[in-house]
A and B are shown apart, each in its own frame.
Chain A
């Protein structure tokens, strides 16, 4: 089946630092999705990318759809304590599937 490799697994950073995480696939994806999950809650969609090379921002968050269509990046600038959580990448592989594959998540801890 499809696999998404998400890295890093965990990040421990100081408040104010920038964060970068990425996701790679062995297959071409038509859509890349980035979610954030707060402890004890469901994942919330942050950014959706639909076109190779697309760069989209949502506040301090910026995500890019890789040119090869096999990777995506999420950057968080000037991190704050409420950025703590697990960030998931996801996407339905090309071929018309409506079932996204999810990465295993990047756990972010921000020290004040």
Chain B
């Protein structure tokens, strides 16, 4: 069966520091991969998605970036964190194709001080 792993579970970082969140999927090949942010108001904001290695689409311009160095690995990064980057970050995967449901990881709680 397929599993998705996200780490770390929680992270406290100072303003201006770099960020790297990692997500890996097991048990499937060539998945679509997604990064979401969930603020306190609980809506899910799509940040990036990827349909293949090296292919990244950005939904919202900001100081975050994403990379997909391997088929089942998705990384969210920042060179300099802002206070507004605080939130709950979720990685998700889906089978390639339309109308396929997404499956989420357990999330990373990021607090910027």
Q: Are A33 and B101 in contact (CB under 8 A)?
A: yes
Contact pick for B99, options A30, A43, A104, A105, CB 8 Å: A30
Residues of A within 8 Å of B, CB-based: how many? 25
Which chain B residue lies CB-closest to A33?
B101
A96 to B100, CA, bound (A): 11
Task: With A88-B44, A105-B42, A107-B42 as known contacts, state yes or no: A48 contacts B101, CB within 8 Å.
Answer: yes
Residues of B within 8 Å of A, CB-based: how many? 24
Q: Are A92 and B98 in contact (CB under 8 A)?
A: yes
Q: Which residues of B contact A104 (CB under 8 A)?
A: 41-43
- A73 interface contact, C-beta 8 A: no
Per DSSP, chain A at the interface is loop
Contact pick for B98, options A44, A86, A96, CB 8 Å: A96
17 further interface pairs, Cβ-Cβ under 8 Å (given A35-B104, A98-B96) = A42-B90, A42-B105, A45-B103, A48-B101, A50-B99, A88-B44, A90-B101, A90-B102, A97-B98, A98-B97, A98-B98, A100-B102, A104-B41, A104-B42, A104-B43, A105-B42, A107-B42
Chain A residues with CB under 8 Å of chain B are 30-31, 33, 35, 40-45, 48, 50, 86, 88, 90, 92, 96-100, 102, 104-105, 107
